[in-house]
Structures are given as structure tokens and as C-alpha cells.
Amino acid sequence: MPLKVFGFTAKTTVEHLEEHFSKYGKLKQVNISQTTESAHVEFEDPAVAKRVLSSGTMKGAQTVHIINGENVYCRYHTPKPHEENNIPSEVSIIQGSSTNSYAY
């Protein structure tokens, strides 16, 4: 199951997220959306998401990880109707003006 990651600022990039989450397992896809100011992180092995959530510090219903010096919140991603086919409504790199999606 994919993770929703949020609570980071524009200084955190796709590359920062890739570096952090690839420590847990092989990544399938990492997207940052400017619209929702969040990221979608998906692993090749869905069981890795559970390891990520159990390895951070719990704060309410979310797990906190420190990425690029920021407290970043993670939880399971519940797709909205427009995302059911794994097609995000808008995927962007926060750090640039171009729109990109990274799939592995």
C-alpha cells in the first residue's frame, strides 16, 4: 500500500524523499504534488510501507520521520476517486517549475 507523506517544505525534494525511503526497500514511485503539498511514495513490495510506519515516531495517527532536517509525517495513502487508477491529478517537483513524475 502506498504512503502519503506531508509536512515538508519546498526545500525537501523528490531526491530527498527517494534517499530516505529507499533505505527501507526498493521504490516503485515517488511523486510530489504542489496542489496538496504532499508526496505519494510507493514501494515494489507493499509490506515495506508497514516497516516505514513502524520505524518512525508516532504522533497521533501518523508516523514522523526526519527528512532533510524536517519532521515529515507518513500514513497509508487512501486513494481519492480520481486516483483509483494510480493517476495523480497533478504531480510536480516542488523545487522547479517543471512538472515531473518519477516511476521506477
CA gap 74, 94 in Å, rounded? 18
At the topology level, CATH places domain 3-80 in Alpha-Beta Plaits (3.30.70)
Q: What is the model's pTM?
A: 0.73
What's the gap between Cα 83 and its chain centre? 15
Pairing of the two strands 70-76 and 57-59: unpaired
Mean pLDDT computed over 5-17: 93
Mean pLDDT computed over 20-28: 96
E-strand spans in 7-84?
Answer: 27-33, 38-43, 57-59, 62-67, 70-76
Residue % of the chain over a pLDDT of 70: 76
CA gap 89, 18 in Å, rounded? 21
